[in-house]
Structure 1
Amino acid sequence: MWPDRRIQELFGIALPIVQAPMAGAHDAALAIAAARAGALGSLPCAMLSPQQAREQVAQYRAATDAPVNLNFFCHRPAAADPAREAAWRERLRPYYLEFGLDPAAASAAAARAPFDEAWCALVEELRPQVVSFHFGLPAPELLARVRASGARAIASATTVAEAVWLEQRGCDAIVAQGNEAGGHRGVFLEGEDVSTQAGLFALLPRIADAVTVPVIAAGGVFDGRGIAAAFALGAAAVQVGTAYLFCPEATIAPLHRRALSAGEGDDTALTNVFSGRPARGIVNRAMRELGPLSPLAPAFPGAGAALAPLRARAEPAGDDDFMSLWSGQARRAHALGAFELTRELARQAQDLLDRG
């Protein structure tokens, strides 16, 4: 018996586990495996076209009748800033010369599209059971249409103020993202300083006390102990990300897998040099020498464009110095598939909860 079944009942899932949507790190195969085990399978859409997302959902639904979560970014596209772009390229100039590259060569960053009218129409077409948002929420009229489609709407909060803001605007559940979580911070309220934000087990009980909707704990949850602790602090479910990156279904690069396996999380820091927004990853040369948080990095998602040629030159030589190696502060290597990992996490947590 789970002590709080609100998320299972809200989403129609067997286990209080959400497989984190990690853009660029997995596709439908991982989500399908997690869903078959009883978790909420999630598909990250921020780096896909609508047609690619449509194909991913079709693949998912052909393999399982479990609920699906479609995840979207809600950032505001940055205005052009030629001076900042030029300063960033000048900062990278020595690396271009080191690799024999033209510092003036044009390059494009990976696309990260915010939720808009086209994505909303796709949600209405596909009717996923859950739609999750990162970096806030879409315009009220778009959110109303998402909810009218029958989807449950959830979003990430990195502070109590953000959680309250999300509940006031109609979220059905809130993901409490602790500072130890891997990947991009979900910060969206003006003036929020990532350097002062709390870890999950300081943040979680405060959010649980401040809102009435169920809370999903995210950040540093990689085994049953973290799940049991999250329930003790007010969570109704957990969101697991980094642990799934070790699964064979993850689509991360071999160098990323190697870096993950080399430590257990004390090698990470928050950085903005790869995208322009703070995100937690394994420290490498780019983070050490350019940041980890640089005032020169162009606004999200523009910072990555100028780094792309450096990664393209270094990666084939076995060098991860210019890759974004996203990881949470707590991880442990394993050889489990996503189905087996999901079941093992639930078993461990249930054993601990049963002991009281």
Structure 2
Amino acid sequence: MDIIAEAESIEEEVVSFRREFHQYPEVSGHEVMTTEYIREHLEKWGISYRLMEPTGIIGVLGSGSSTTALRADMDALEIREETELSFQSQNTGCMHACGHDGHTAVLLAAAKILKEHEDELDHRIMLVFQPAEETAQGAADLLETGILNQADKIFGLHIFSGIEKGKISLEPGARMAATNWFSIRIGGKSGHAGKPQECVDAVVTAASLAMNLQTIISRSINPLESAVLTIGRMEAGTARNIIAGEAVLEGTVRTFSREVQEKIRERMEEITAAAAQMFHAEISLDFQPASHPALWNDEDAVKEVMKKAVTVFPKKDFVHVPPMMLGEDFANYLNEMKGCFAFIGGGGKYPNHHGMFDFDEDVLVQGVKLMLVFASV
């Protein structure tokens, strides 16, 4: 039997893996039970492995002069699950709302099949079960260990609910955005709500900044360039009759080029400085370096994978998906070595990072097949 065709026979097992991970989600850097579950299975199947610190595990299969790495992220989010699935999260306030449970299950199932055919492999396979993708720290930390220096190429995938079930997007070039985090702290002067002339209102200052910062994208960036500036958190005030003396804005910037990223930072500095002068407030901007670059798929790697993929999947399964402004720390790997990252449609009604997020488990076999395709090139 063809090794990739064997993915069909492992459907029940890959679903059980996914449900186990889904029931016991763990946030970034705390994937202790998840790591142990994977370790137990790798050991049971006779796959050598290396445990990472504090979490994460890398399995190794095969032998040869070249090495291909397959990566799955395994952390969950601090989100209260609302799905009422029979296997919903047992960890209150924590949920696999981004498909990482599926990614980990897919790689674990692929590992079992690859082990059964280890003597047929003409190269080494590294099974990278990576922690802390949601904090954009896991890939960078793993690269720092040097363990991936021996890998020649790396592949990964992501299940998205916004793509039709089972459809695959495997395309060269820009696929996901670079991510910068920022925080703005405003220092004003609090006082009685009835005496605003004696105060420096941090709320008014914050509101003005929240609006004016949006003009950076619409008026300072070339409309043909893609960029997003989002303020996701605003905090100010203690009571309805007290003018707030402090406020905090936190958000993210998403870009595909360093030039645009730098232009946004410069304009944010100019606008915050102008707001400080206008409102007589003290304002500090902390614009953090990108946690990862934009994710660009290597054209040669995509061509190499597609030669094999078109013999496994019908042509109708491949669709075009425009680049996303979402971040993905897999980009750090592609900054160091060749490889590519695929999107798989999960169906479902709710977007990733939503308390009702779920995907059709039929796509798990699709994911296993794609991992095996990656392993074969």
TM-score bin, normalised by smaller chain: under 0.3
Alignment TM-score, normalising by the size of structure 2: 0.24
Q: Which has the higher strand share?
A: 2
| Greater relative contact order (CA < 8 Å, ≥ 6 in sequence) | 2
Q: Which has the higher helix share?
A: 1
The structure having more radius of gyration, on CA atoms, is 2
